[in-house]
Chains A and B, each alone.
Chain A
Amino acid sequence: MELHALTIHAARAALQSGDLTSVTLTESLLNRIYAVDNQIRAYLSVTPEVALEQAEEADRRRAAGDTSPLLGIPFALKDVICTEGLTTTCGSRILHNYIPPYDATAYRRLREAGAILLGKTNMDEFAMGSSTENSAFFTTRNPWDLERVPGGSSGGSAAAVAADEAIFGIGTDTGGSIRQPAALVGIVGLRPTYGRVSRFGLVAYGSSLDQIGPLTKDVTDAALVLGALAGHDPLDSTSLPTPVPNYETALRSDIRGLRVAVPKEYFVEGMEPGVERAVRDAIQVLAGLGAEVGEVSLPHTEYALPTYYIIAPAEASANLARYDGVRYGHSAANPSDIWDLFRTTRDEGFGAEVKRRIMLGTYALSAGYYDAYYRKAQQTRTLIKRDFDQVFTHYDVVVCPTSPSVAFPIGARVDNPLQMYLADIFTLSLNLAGLCGMSIPCGFSEGLPVGLQFMGPPLGEPALLRAAYAYEQATPWHTMKASLPLDVTSSELNETDEAEIG
């Protein structure tokens, strides 16, 4: 197998045995990026000097006896997570020139675990979207079909992993932005419990919903990355002090007696038949492995989408008030007064979807509409959470589709925001309820990957990993890769992309 196609655990074994150095592995990944990324366009910026310097350091650490879990493993970081001294754009014109003066805790923890930063990946602007088409810079392509979206908002990290342009990727999930792109490109995506991974240094979108998590080639790798990311951080007041378990011990292929709930509301009219078939088959596989499968009802499911599209924009409208052209980022030229500076900076700096959500959130929070929209949505959020509390008193995990459709064509939904929002219909309840979840590959529909979603109670990551690992070991889907035409000679990718962003 080629080096760039390795999983974390396979690369780690080769690094530990001395058969491979991190510098060699990192060079292989950089060469892969140069060969294919002008087709995929996963990266907003590639940082080869940083990567090779970190790889040399990793090799020195290993020679000195360090066995940190991700030592020497190259990865891709979503460009919404702050990296000191390295441009962090959030996929937005308003931050096209922003260079953070500090590292996010998640990035610092990955570096301490020994991981190597290859670059920052493309995303829907401020993580608002389900296709990466809302990036201010360009659209990332799905490795399985370059005319289709990779999902979003973490589409860059997901596509990078699927195209072997990174051993693993880091995304963020506010309403499905890790799980949905993982499903659409055929990889594993894990959204941890709210509070499990520090949000310090993550540029805020919906602060009661956001969470950072891994995008990986298999379930074992997801456990390894989660173990490095998770843990209490005094810099994030919502970070949970609960000790972090050893997630690798959850990777057992025996799921006899595991209680698996199938919510009937997640098999709806209008979902693609090929998706339903693949997910139904996967549930049969789980039953065949000894899981106790039962049908349940989550009666407030139909209210999750409107609830989310009140709460998330409301939080976004408050969080994005900070972009004023005064302290960082884009600033309007020659403003006539301070109000003109604010209005013009924000008009020039934000794209259409971000403006839409700021408008929606401001409206929902404004005098006269607060009770009818924002408060109502918060009350409905309670009902949605209670549905899940009820199910998890009898079941260990919920299983359902990740997305009602496979990857859709680029441009198909950009003019219809409501239709685009429907892409998240199966993922956003989890964020509202503060649960954990993951998407793993479970087959294909019309040649495109289908995702199987597991949801667990707060801090239920071990049960998710156990169910997902058992299914993965019993099926071939995680070994299947998109084949890309390799006719590319670009070697100046980094310069090209930076020029485009600037």
Chain B
Amino acid sequence: MQTVFSIGVDALAYGMVLFVISIGLSVTMGLMRVVNLAHGAFAMIGGYIASYAARDLGLAYAVAVMLAVAGTILIAIPIERLLYRRIYGQPELTQVLMTIGITFCIIGIANYVFGPTLKTIPTPETLREPVSLGFRTVSSHRLFVIACGAAVALGLWYFIERTAFGVKLRAAVDNAAMAAALGVRTQVVYAVSFAVAVGLAAFGGVVGAELLPIEPYYALRYMVTFLVVVSVGGAGSIPGALAACLLLGAIDTTGRYLMPEFGEFFFYLAVIAIVWLFPRGLAGRAK
């Protein structure tokens, strides 16, 4: 029984890390219909900014997180205006080629500027202590990540489903021409959504850095994981992405605990099974 609880805690924590990091990609792919392979690169930029702010400038963790999100969005704005705007509505292959190109450029620049070594983001003392849950200890950072995941899920759901902007966004996604005819400034809507997605990527990169450390190849190393989460959850669906992350986190953690020598076998087996049963993901909508 203790083992079950113990696996449960780890699974929840790992699932939430996956969620925080991948949800931005779900937004770009599902709502904006852009296959953004540079998502990991934006997460990495966030991580580097936070690492620089907290480690080299000695700023507080919370300030570093905010700087990372704001800084990444600032860097992303010209990229959106000059590059992404051209690929909205283009065939997927064009989008893939361009975004993977952006990824390689960012990897090269990161390697040149920050060097190939790992960068850590120092966490405050309170997030470093192991916390006892009675039957086991867990790092307080994990609890923090779980809370962040829950907050992001709720906030984003409210933003898309309950605000006037969310209505415009959904309208622009479903029929851009009609939305524009009705007075929705689709370019602004897209720009803001892109900024939100990039901000989420940066936020995920920073809070997930304890599990997925920041280094130049971050952008490529975890790309498959992000894409798997989005395709299993169904692009654009927040509950879908949450369910996918928790499910995949649970399967991966259980497999790793009970039969580590099978590697990621169970993880990908589950992915195959889910995509076979739900070709559009757990909560995907028909096009």
Q: Do A and B bind each other?
A: no
- Give the B-binding residues of A (Cβ under 8 A): none
